[in-house]
């Protein structure tokens, strides 16, 4: 009999919501539909009989009344057969790669629970991990409603105190050992499950930006008439949070280059971004759990305590080739910076189980933008469109998509010094002409001679040549034109940029944090 990979569990009384979930499951990318088992706990009328389940590979419906999140989910979890269970509110719609990304993450043995990035229909953030208030012992969602779901602050994976039960992935056998606390009347059993999990299993609860979806929060509660969390539920939550063990902090000693070099920054980013590591750089740490050498060339001899890990950049037979091989053979674990280096280590007889590949990537600031250039100098009278440029600069949303540069610092934008204007025209995407009155302008002609179009009003000679028009002196018209061009430009560039998704310094630190926990757990 075929055993499914994941059981998706939903409690509902809303036919429309269930049909949307089915569609989102069918649209999930990189997941074999035969590996998905859908189990529905139904607490409404006979409307469920009219839901089309035929497109699903495996489905079962169970009538559980009245509605109670904990009891209903516990009941159907006991009927699940998947290796993993995904608890999914009926008012959550997953993005197409979320299911596969969540499964990929939880198959790492140091990860125990996976939660994701949930957004309101407006695009504002609803959930990106649950944290605990030290004064009140109550949970809160970080940045909830404060930022949009794709804000840079959220584009990472990290260890968190808890995640919402609206989207929670866990190993089935581990959940069955705990179950949801059925004493809850309305809400909070998901927080208590997270707390009890941390006290029971030596795995991490992880938030991932790559696991995302829309959450029409409280839509399920509206259908049951439950709108507020009663005092009894809050007391249970406070009690569980108060008894939750903190994550174990690991002592990490990093030996590397001096400040100012890229290898030192690699160490700094691990120190800065981790939440469960106590990191020192180029200092003595007699009680170190792990001694990490960035890179292998800094290894001299085995320290008296702790595991030894080496970072391997590249093999250079004419450089430190012999040391590359000798250090790899004596350290407890090798971290390579590329699949090429991993292949070299394997070729030299290092077991693949002893190697982890962690890519560095690029800083989050490196993103595709539309580059607009300004040439010439502003005039006191304002006829060069100085006020338009200022309004563009003040438009924070637009400036996230564009880069304004100039050859003249008087425009109060980034100044780029080129050998000549020709070089400048060839590094920008478009020349911006904000002028209200022009005889030429000459820069327009020069840019076009280089094959660079201008965003310009119909003034001077401009109407006689190819250009991208906007209404003269009209900031709304100019903003609309630039916004459209920027969106099209970024969409083209993101086709390639998406290869770098989550390959940044936060990811570098997170991958090390998780690996260090796994290495020490394996040692124990």
Asked whether residue 184 falls in the same domain as residue 80, the answer is yes
Asked whether residue 137 falls in the same domain as residue 163, the answer is yes
Domain-embedded: residue 517? no
pLDDT of residue 389: 96
Domain-embedded: residue 319? yes
Mean of all residue pLDDT scores within the chain: 94
Distance CA 497, CA 519 (A): 32
pLDDT of residue 380: 83
Domain-embedded: residue 515? no
CA 445 to chain CA centroid, nearest Å: 44
Give the pLDDT band of residue 31 (cuts 50, 70, 90): very high
Question: Would the pTM count as exceeding 0.75?
Answer: yes
Asked whether residue 55 falls in the same domain as residue 163, the answer is yes
Give the pLDDT band of residue 381 (cuts 50, 70, 90): confident
Tell me the CATH number at 237. 3.90.550.10
Q: How many domains does the chain have?
A: 3
pLDDT of residue 177: 97
Domain-embedded: residue 25? yes
pLDDT of residue 226: 57
Asked whether residue 23 falls in the same domain as residue 92, the answer is yes
Q: Which residues contact 476 (CB under 8 A, 6 or more apart)?
A: none
Contact criterion met (CB below 8 Å) for 281 and 306 = no
The pair of three-digit structure tokens given for residue 305, joined into one six-digit string:
């305590």
Calculate mean pLDDT across residues 271-287: 95
The pair of three-digit structure tokens given for residue 495, joined into one six-digit string:
């086709």
Residue 417 pLDDT greater than 70, yes or no: yes
Local structure of residue 463 (DSSP, 8 states): G
Asked whether residue 228 falls in the same domain as residue 285, the answer is no
255 pairs with which residues across the strands? 293
Asked whether residue 232 falls in the same domain as residue 87, the answer is yes
Give the range of the structural domain holding residue 400, as residue numbers without chain letter: 370-498
Domain-embedded: residue 111? yes
Tell me the CATH number at 322. 3.40.50.2000
Domain-embedded: residue 119? yes
Q: Which residues contact 381 (CB under 8 A, 6 or more apart)?
A: none
Last residue of a domain, one of 206, 224, 242: 242
The pair of three-digit structure tokens given for residue 134, joined into one six-digit string:
């030290």
């Amino acid at each position: 009999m075929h055993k499914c990979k994941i059981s998706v569990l939903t409690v509902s009384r809303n036919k429309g919501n269930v049909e949307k979930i089915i569609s989102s499951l069918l649209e999930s990318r990189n997941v074999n539909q035969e590996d998905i088992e859908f189990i529905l706990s139904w607490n409404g009328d006979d409307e469920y009989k009219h839901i089309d389940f035929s497109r699903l590979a495996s489905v079962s419906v169970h009538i559980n009344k009245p509605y109670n999140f904990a009891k209903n989910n516990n009941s159907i979890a006991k009927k699940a057969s998947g290796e993993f269970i995904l608890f999914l509110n009926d008012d959550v719609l997953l993005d197409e790669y979320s299911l596969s990304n969540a499964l990929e993450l939880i198959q790492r043995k140091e990860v125990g629970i996976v939660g994701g990035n949930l957004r309101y229909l407006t695009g504002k953030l609803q959930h990106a991990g649950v944290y605990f208030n030290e004064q009140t012992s109550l949970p809160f969602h970080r940045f909830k409603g404060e930022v949009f779901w794709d804000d840079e602050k959220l584009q990472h994976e990290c260890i968190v105190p808890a995640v919402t039960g609206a989207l929670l992935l866990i190993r089935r056998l581990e959940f069955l050992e705990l179950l949801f606390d059925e004493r809850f009347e309305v809400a909070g059993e998901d927080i208590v499950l997270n707390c009890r999990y941390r006290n029971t299993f030596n795995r991490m609860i992880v938030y991932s930006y790559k696991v995302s979806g829309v959450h029409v929060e409280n839509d399920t509660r509206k259908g049951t008439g439950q709108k507020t969390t009663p005092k009894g539920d809050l007391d249970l939550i406070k009690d569980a949070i108060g008894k939750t063990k903190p994550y174990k902090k690991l002592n990490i000693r990093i030996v590397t280059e001096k400040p100012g070099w890229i290898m030192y920054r690699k160490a700094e980013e691990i120190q800065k971004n981790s939440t469960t590591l106590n990191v020192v750089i180029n200092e003595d740490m007699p009680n170190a759990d792990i001694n990490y050498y960035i890179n292998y060339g800094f290894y001299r001899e085995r320290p008296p305590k702790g595991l030894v890990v080496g970072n391997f950049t590249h093999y250079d037979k004419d450089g430190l080739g012999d040391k590359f091989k000798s250090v790899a053979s004596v350290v407890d674990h090798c971290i390579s910076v590329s699949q090429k280096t991993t292949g070299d280590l394997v070729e030299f007889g290092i077991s693949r189980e002893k190697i982890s590949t962690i890519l560095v990537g690029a800083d989050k600031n490196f993103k595709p933008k539309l580059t607009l250039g300004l040439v010439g100098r502003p005039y006191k009278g304002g006829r060069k469109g100085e006020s338009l440029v200022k309004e563009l600069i003040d438009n924070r949303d637009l400036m996230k998509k564009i880069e304004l540069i100039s050859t003249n610092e008087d425009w109060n934008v980034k100044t780029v010094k080129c050998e000549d204007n020709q070089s400048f025209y060839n590094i920008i995407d478009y020349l911006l002409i904000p002028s209200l009155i022009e005889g030429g302008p000459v820069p327009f002609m020069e840019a076009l001679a280089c094959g660079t179009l201008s965003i310009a009003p119909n003034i001077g000679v401009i109407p006689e040549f190819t250009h991208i028009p906007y209404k003269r002196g009209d900031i709304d018209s100019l903003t609309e034109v630039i916004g459209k061009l920027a969106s099209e430009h970024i969409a083209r560039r993101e086709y390639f940029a998406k290869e770098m998704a989550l390959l940044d310094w936060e990811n570098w630190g997170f991958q090390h944090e998780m690996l260090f926990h796994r290495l020490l757990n394996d040692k124990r």
